[in-house]
Structure 1
Amino acid sequence: MGLKSGLDMAPYQASLDWIDRQQKAMVRQVEAWSCVNSGSHNLPGLADMGAKVTEAFSALGGNFESIALPPSSHVTPSGDLEPLPLGPVYRFQKRPDAKRRVLLTGHLDTVFAKDSPFQVPRWLDDTLLNGPGVADMKGGLIVMLHALLAVERSGLADDLGWEVLISSDEEIGSIGSAAILTERAPHAHIGLTYEPALADGTLAGARKGSGNFSIVVRGRAAHAGRAFHEGRNAVVALAEVIAALDGLNGQREGVTVNPAVISGGAAPNIVPDMAVLRVNARVKTHEDARWVEQALEEIRTRISSREGYDLMVHGGFNRPPKPISGANQALFDVVARCGDALGLKVAYQATGGCCEGNNLAAAGLPNVDTLGVRGGKIHSSDEFVLVDSFAERAKLSAVIMLGFAQGHFDQALMQEGA
């Protein structure tokens, strides 16, 4: 049947029943994976997690490669640039020349450092599991894996080519993997990303873009008593910068600028000659991003024009905004219809958060980016997953891919250019 008249689920039922039988195994797997610290900067932990993911995804067959990323750079608290090593991207691919192709993306890094006190999962009750990465997004990787396993078992995937990209740097902005996302996006027709859905199953719609900036102000040190006026106080100049950045809030709808982390100075009796500020900006449009960048340049010029001062801005907008194009809305509608076929209500809401889906959309690939487990309180030690959502969400992705493979969505998607 076509999309408008509903999906005939009979050809998929054996695959969906198989997913239901994997529910307990999926929960055991997320418990085990949650015990592996894979903070974005913990390279040994990322390697351990990468080995586990590679072993699990090897059951799909196809081709595999580990793509090493060159080091990025990082502004230290002393204002210097130093290399920042990154973990690799893990790539799995099957039937790359198929008539219909899907790109699935996810990440194995978490926001929890190797010295974080939050290291192991625990049960809150029979339905809620609390633990690092259980929702964001080791749970999502498990949903992706089992959906693909079900597709491969179905005997209906001959016309479906799929590619999986699993990064190690998503939680720090995909600073290395973004280029690979951009390069691979044009080779697919649709994208599926496995960030967690909200606890009630709501998915993300439009997303804001995000930029991270490190601002380094250098002045001139001097004795705070004997030669105060010979100094050029970098901390005072930075305070002016912070006020100017905070003043941008409210000037354009949907634009927020958050001066977040500061460092500088050495001792109270020394005029500080260096100060560093780390800033995040969120924007709804590319024009908003240019406006923020222009404001930063005006601040840089104003401070640097003063005798004895220099201001440098590092960073940029690494996550483009994700407005909802016609092609993306068509894909959203397809996913909602797949949910209907399973008895799941699929709704979307705009969010200020961002993810790999932003990068895929900017590269022209319509995508749905919250197809992982249902959960909440991510990026905190209260992160949880609703364990019943493992089979539920894996079945949703399996139906999306199987329906797509069989051409049921061609008319709905292709008329919008997806």
Structure 2
Amino acid sequence: MEMLQLLERLVNIDSSSYTKQGIDEIGAILKGKFEELDFLVKKMKQQKFGNHLVIQHRDAKSPHILVIGHMDTVFPEGTARKRPFKMEGTRAYGPGVVDMKGSLVQLLYAILCMKQTGQSGYKHIQIILNSDEEIGSPSSAALILEKAKNMKYALVLEPARPDGSIVTARRGVGQFKVEVVGRAAHSGIEPEKGQSAIEELAHKIIAFHKLTDLHQGIGLNVGIIEGGSAVNTVAPRASALVDVRFSNKDQVEFILKQMKSICAKTFVPGTKTSLSGKVDRPPMEKTEQTIGLLEIIRQSGDEMGLTITDTSTGGGSDASFPSELGVATIDGLGPIGDCAHSDDEYLEIESLFDRTLLLATVLQKLSQID
């Protein structure tokens, strides 16, 4: 089966967000495949990260459907050699097999399916394949926003949930750093002369975590802490990285105000605290436009005998960018799988074929809506 052969080829290429050579190798393969289908592929060259690809058919005029995928994974160089692509029973395994190399194959063959069946919906789409989604899209966010502003629909090919659900809402994501400066002193001889940055940071960590409100979709997690210079020294410095999640744009101002207030309060006299960072991705909210797009996808599923359900998730993706602009956006349209970002990541093989046909059907329907 050609689709699985291409999937194996892509999975066996290391393409972490920082492995430019591997991402560009994948980009070159896909560029050739799309050009065989009469698509024009524009390479957006990057110095630090892999090159992004902007793809549309040579006969496309003012496409109104944006399809977004990414070529990078979270796995370091050498992973593909250690555990290459394999199939066992109904599943395929390998680094990035479902997040989202399966989706790259799905997209290519959905277009091929449309061409082979005499449909022309592919002339109404524009595709962005970026290289840095897994690290917050630092070099591609502006590109996505630029291309999305004139679109009516955005389809994002992150994998479907394990139960097959597609994604209609995502929480926004922010990354922040808290740095505390204290004063060093010998902890045995003259501890009273010290000002512990670690103690100060500990108070602030507890306060940050108290801001979490799962009912409201607000989450703060201090994931990494560093500090101190020696076990017998009062810590002169300490820092923490804070992951912030939120469900709607109105919550951002509240969260930032609370974080600044916590950082402004001093628990250990003499210490000083600074806060830096920003919101990387806005939330993807379930709007009326999204609901309308969801209904079209459900109708397409019904025609194939597939029941399409939807869900929300706390993870971020590039779907947040077109959604922020008011574009009707649906995510999770890739194949079904689970355990992404782990050694156990898998893809349900049958879903690769089903979701390819579903994507082709949806693209054709959307192309006919003026």
Whether TM exceeds 0.5 here: the answer is yes
Three-state SS of the structure 2 residue aligned to 1:64 is strand
2:18 to 29, 41, 47: 41
- Judging changes above 3 Å, is the alpha-carbon distance between structure 1 residues 62 and 56 closer, same or farther for their aligned structure 2 residues? closer
Choose the corresponding residue for 2:228, options 265, 275, 279. 265
Quick one: which of 71, 75, 90 aligns to 1:127?
90
Aligned partner of residue 149 in structure 2, secondary structure: helix
More off after superposition, 30-39 vs 213-222: 213-222
Q: Equivalent pairs: percent with the same residue?
A: 30
Q: Residue 305 of structure 2: which of 336, 343, 347 is its match? A: 343
Partner of 2:343: 381
In 2 relative to 1, CA 51–160 (structure 1 residues): closer, same or farther, beyond 3 Å?
closer
1:105–1:193 contact (8 Å) kept in structure 2: yes
User: Which residue does 2:362 correspond to in 1?
Assistant: 400
Does the Cα contact within 8 Å between 1:214 and 1:279 map onto a contact in 2? yes
Q: Using the TM superposition, name which of 332-341 and 354-363 deviates more.
A: 354-363
User: Residue 293 of structure 1 corresponds to which residue in structure 2?
Assistant: 256
Q: Distance in 2 between matches of 1:394 and 1:117?
A: 25
| Equivalent of 1:207 in 145, 154, 170 | 170
Q: Distance in 1 between matches of 2:87 and 2:13?
A: 20
Matched, 1:360 2:322: yes
SS for the counterpart of 2:169 is strand
Moved more, 226-235 or 105-114: 226-235
The counterpart of 1:277, out of the listed 231, 237, 240, is 240
- Identify which range, 225-234 or 272-281, moves more after superposition: 225-234
The equivalent of 2:6 in structure 1 is 29
For the structure 1 residues 90 and 220, does the alpha-carbon distance in structure 2 shift closer, same or farther, using more than 3 Å as the test?
farther
Shift of 1:212: 1.6
Calculate the aligned-residue CA RMSD, in Å.
2.4
Residues 50, 268 of structure 1: alpha-carbon distance in 2 compared, 3 angstrom cutoff: same
1:343 Cα shift? 1.3
String of CA shifts for 1:59-89, please: whole Å, max 9, x gaps.
Answer: 233332222457xxxxxxxxxxxxxx43332
1:45 to partner: Cα distance: 2.6
Deviation beyond 6 Å, 4+ runs, structure 1: none
Map of 1:325 onto structure 2: 287
CA deviations over 1:20-61 (Å, ceiling 9, x no partner):
xxxx21112112211111111223332333333323333233
Question: In structure 1, what residue type is equivalent to 2:349?
Answer: V
Distance in 2 (alpha carbons) for counterparts of 1:160 and 1:49:
24
Q: 2:131, 2:63 → 1: CA distance?
A: 27
Distance 1:99 1:48 in 2: 29
Give TM-score, length-normalised by structure 1: 0.82
Partner AA of 2:68 in structure 1: T
Change (3 A) 1:88 1:217: farther
The unaligned stretches of length 5 or more in structure 1 are: 1-23, 71-84, 411-418
Distance verdict in 2 for CA 1:394–1:117, change over 3 Å:
closer
The code of the aligned residue for 2:89 comes to D
Listed one character per residue, the Cα deviations across residues 277-325 of structure 1 (whole Å, up to 9, x for unaligned) are 111121111121221111111122224x976433232322212111111
- Per-residue CA distance 1:2-24 (angstroms, 9 max, x = gap): xxxxxxxxxxxxxxxxxxxxxx2
Report if the CA contact (8 A) 1:104-1:163 is conserved.
yes
Query: Structure 2 length as normaliser, TM-score?
Result: 0.92
Partners of 2:27 and 2:335 in 1: CA distance: 20
Structure 2 CA distance for aligned equivalents of residues 398 and 302 of structure 1? 56
Residue of 175, 192, 198 corresponding to 2:161: 198
For 1:54 and 1:266, locate their aligned partners in 2 and report how far apart those are by CA, in whole Å: 51
State yes or no: 1:66 paired with 2:43.
yes
One-letter amino acid of the counterpart of residue 343, structure 1: G
Once the 2 structures are TM-superposed, how far is the Cα of residue 100 of structure 1 from its aligned partner?
A: 5.0
Q: 2:125 aligns with which of 153, 162, 168?
A: 162
Against the structure 1 CA distance between its residues 251 and 128, is the aligned structure 2 distance closer, same or farther, given a 3 Å change threshold? closer
CA contact (8 A) 1:103 1:164 kept: yes
State the distance in 2 between where 1:296 and 1:201 align: 37
Pick closer, same or farther for the CA change 1:251–1:202 going to 2, 3 Å: closer
